[in-house]
Amino acid sequence: MADWRVLIGSKSFGKMFPEHLDSLRQAGCEVVPNQVGRPYRAAELAQALRGVEAIVTGTDELTAEVIAAADRLKTIAKHGVGLDNIDLPAARSRGILVSATFGAVHDSVADLAMALLLAVARGIVPAHVGTAAGKWKGFMGMELRGKVLGIVGLGRIGKEVSLRAACFGMKVIAHDPRPDQAFAAAHGIRFVPLAELLSQSDAVSLHAGLEQAGRPLLGPAEIACLKKGAILVNTGRGHLVDEAALARALAEGRLAGAGLDVFQREPPEGSPLLALENVVLAPHMAGDTRDARRRMGEITVENVVRVKRGEPPLCPVE
C-alpha cells in the first residue's frame, strides 16, 4: 500500500517514459496526476498539495505562501534545473528538501551550442534555404581551428562545450565567478575578466546565471566590447543578453552572427532578431533529447525515493 503521495506538476515527467511513474509506484508512492493540464498556479497548489509528501515540479508556482500552507510536504523534486519557480528560503525554513536534475542535460545542451556555432560560422541555414529554393550560392565561412572560444560560465555545460571546442582545435578562455582551477589547468583553459573575454574571443558561448538583478549580463556596453566579426551563442538564459543591442550590432555588421536558443520573451514575438539573416534561432530546445529526458526522469525518481527512505536526495539544492 502506498504510504507517500507524490503530486506530478511537471507536464513532461512520465510522458515520454511512463516507466518513471511506475518506478515511483513500485517504491510505495501514490502518484497524483496533474489535474490542470499545465503548470499549477499558486492558488491551485494551495489545495493540490494538501496531504501530499512530494511534488515533482516543472514551472509550478511554489511561492512562500504555497510552501507554508503545505501540511505534509517533505520534498520538492525539480524535473529540470531552473529553480526560479521555487521559493528556496521558504522551503529551507520548513525543512523541505529541494532537489534538481543537475547533469541530466549537459551533453544535450553542449551539443546544441556547438551546432549553433557551426551553423552560424558556415552559413548552413541560409545555404539550405537558398539551395532548397533553387539558388546555387555558397557562403564564405569561418574555420574553428585556431579560433578563440570564450565561455561565460564554466560549469557542467560550459565544461562540456570546452571539451567539444578543443576537439575542433579551438583555444578556450573562460569567465566564471567560481572558477574551477583544477579543470582549467587540466584542459589548458585560462580564466579572464569578462571584458577581456569579450574583446579576445572569436566566438562567445553563454552558460551563466544572471549575475546582476535588473540588467542583462551583456548590455549595450558589453556587446560593444565584443570582438569585431565575433559570433555569439546563447543556450543559457534569454535575459543574459540585451536583444535590442545585439540586433543593432548584428545589423550593422559588427558581429558576424548569433546562434540563439533562448530569448528575453518566449516565444520571441516582435524581437528585432527575427528579421536578421545572420542569426540562427531555435525554440529553447537545447535539453530536448530522448537521452536527456530519460536521465532527467531517472534522477527525479531517485531524488524522491531517497527522501522517502530518509536519505538525502541524489542532487540536492544547497
DSSP track, 4-62: EEEEE--SSTTTS-THHHHHHHHTTEEEE--SSSSPPPHHHHHHHTTT-SEEEESS--B
HSE-CB for 37 with a 13 A CA cutoff:
0
Cell of 312: 538525502
| C-alpha 92, offset from chain centre | 24
* Amino acid type, 34: N
Q: Are 80 and 58 within 8 A, CB to CB? A: yes
Which amino acids are annotated catalytic? 237, 266, 284
Strand, helix or coil for residue 202:
coil
Q: Are strands 203-206 and 75-78 parallel, antiparallel or unpaired?
A: unpaired
N-to-C CA span, the chain: 32
Query: Are 173 and 153 a contacting pair, CB within 8 Å?
Result: no
CA pseudo-torsion sign 58, 63, 66, 70: positive
- The 3-state DSSP class for residue 311 equals coil
Residue 314 C-alpha cell reads as 541524489
DSSP 8-state assignment for residue 272: G
**Contact status, residue 2 vs residue 25, Cβ threshold 8 Å:** yes
